[in-house]
Structure 1
Amino acid sequence: MEDQKSKDNIKPTKERIFNVSLELFSQKGFNAVSVREIAREVGIRESSIYNHYKNKEAILDAIIDYFKAELTQSGLPEEETTKLMDQGPEVYFQVGSRVYIEQINTPQMEKIWRLVSIETYHNQKIREFFKKELLEEPITGWENVFRMMMEKKMIKPFNPRTLAYEYFSFALFLFFEYYVLKYDEDFDSFMDMALERMGKHTDFLLEAIKI
């Protein structure tokens, strides 16, 4: 613990403010944390926060921007997506599930997912972010995937939007189960557990729609 604290203390002040803020926001919620508390945990004066961030809202904006960048970075390149698609729907979904879970499965990202789950109900900015980045865009992306699979005669003709909701709704269920209902419980490996359950759900769906 002391070693970790020493490592944190040699990081740039702005990064330490970011990390401490994320830790506190993910534990207590955005509104329950004051700039004074952040400064105290970082070990600096409250006024020093404003040398790096305009206000507490700006710290939240930086966290959201970081989250977006990480999600974008961890997606599959278009060329790799096409190659996977050509190997069949089972391979594509197996890799797709792993990519999704890996996006969640880092300590920093876990804290942000937790923060999003806390704040979605009463924070307008987080709610809009959730709707656009974590619901509408993924649903549209999976709709395009199912449409492509139909064009390649891999699956039966269905409404691709409906299939996208059917597939992605289970991923959202896992998100809420872990980050809201069971966040404090001890998991040997959330990634292994989630991949196994996503795999079973995918097998069930493909069994119904595959040609």
Structure 2
Amino acid sequence: MTTKEKILKEALELFAVKGYDGVSVREIAGAVGVRESALYKHFKNKEDILNNIIDATKERIAGAYIENQVPEAVEPDVAGGYRRLTTEKLCEISWNLFQLYTKDPVVSNIRKLLMREQFSNSIIAKKYNQFFLNGVVERQAQTFAALVEDGVFRKEDTKIIALQFYGPIFLLFQRYDCEPEQEEAIKRMLYEHVRAFGRNYSRKEEQAL
């Protein structure tokens, strides 16, 4: 692990325990075992450290999307990619990504950190909104637009479709944070949500009525 990587690791662990505002650059340097001046060779300030943690988290998430063969990450034809996936495979992918956001030591910690710190730091509030709230809805709306255009889903407001898909999953994140011992029950709920969502918006279901 390089010094830069160690700085990011130690900073995230400190932020997760003490909060962003409760940690100083000097404290991060001490946890890494370097002088404060040495830390500034790698990062401009504490916000730069946080931004780099977020960038690294995005790369981690992108890697997981590729590993799980999510169509947006691996297919030029997004709608075609989803057409080829069975409902059960979609459930499996959704659960794998759910675990990334709730169990991965980097992704889970940054999610909880931004969620907690948004109330006391307007800059972090914007990052949280872009990373885990409105930004997610905007990105998913693009996917659903492709599915609507291709005739996979019936024609509806794609932002509303995205909100109805992501909203329950976001709620399940919070439930998992409070009740990790209920993992199996939460997994069943996630699977049923994905199935019900597909039935609700599928053009096939619409044509069968």
Output the TM-score relative to the length of structure 1: 0.75
CA separation of 1:124/1:178 partners in 2, compared to 1, >3 Å: closer, same or farther?
Answer: farther
Shift of the alpha carbon at 1:168? 0.7
Q: Which residue is 1:29 aligned to?
A: 19
Query: Judging changes above 3 Å, is the alpha-carbon distance between structure 1 residues 91 and 157 closer, same or farther for their aligned structure 2 residues?
Result: farther
> How many matched pairs?
195
1:163 and 2:153 equivalent?
A: no
Q: Relative to 1, partners in 2 of residues 1:92 and 1:127: Cα closer, same or farther, differing over 3 Å?
A: farther
**Would you say 1:204 and 2:196 are equivalent positions?**
yes
CA contact (8 A) 1:139 1:161 kept: yes
Aligned CA distance change for structure 1 residues 80 and 107 (closer, same or farther; 3 Å):
farther
For residues 177-192 of structure 1, what are the structure 2 equivalents within 5 Å? 177-179=175-177, 182=178, 187=181
Unaligned runs of at least 5 residues, structure 2: 66-72
- Residue 94 (1) aligns with residue 91 (2): yes
The AA in structure 2 aligned to 1:201 is H
Deviations 1:162-207 (A, max 9, x none): 221111111221233344xx2xx6548x5x6654322111223333
3-state SS of 2:41 partner: coil
Query: Distance between the aligned counterparts of 2:99 and 2:106, measured in 1?
Result: 12
**2:133 aligned counterpart, secondary structure:** helix
The one-letter code sitting in structure 1 at the alignment partner of 2:98 is I
In 2, distance between residues paired with 1:151 and 1:170? Answer: 24
Amino acid across the alignment from 2:19:
G
Maintained 8 Å contact 2:114/2:124: yes
Paired letter, 1:174: L
- Which residue among 118, 127, 139 is the counterpart of 1:141? 139
65-74 or 14-23, which deviates more: 65-74
> In 1, are the aligned partners of 2:15 and 2:23 still within 8 Å (CA)?
yes
Q: Which moved more, 1:146-155 or 1:120-129?
A: 146-155
Residues 101 and 194, structure 1, Cα contact 8 Å, conserved in 2: no
Identity among equivalent pairs (%):
26
Distance 2:197 2:154 in 1: 12
How far apart are residue 151 of structure 1 and its match?
4.0
The answer for unaligned runs of 5 or more in structure 1 is 1-10
Matched, 1:85 2:82: yes
Distance in 2 (alpha carbons) for counterparts of 1:12 and 1:143: 38
Q: Which residue is equivalent to 1:107? A: 105
Structure 2 length normalisation: TM-score? 0.76
User: RMSD in angstroms over aligned alpha carbons?
Assistant: 2.9
Deviation by residue 1:15-56 (Cα, 9 ceiling, x = unmatched): 222111110101111001122322332233333322332222
What's the CA shift for 1:83?
A: 4.7
User: What letter is aligned with 1:98?
Assistant: W
Distance 1:194-1:145 versus aligned 2 partners, 3 A rule? farther
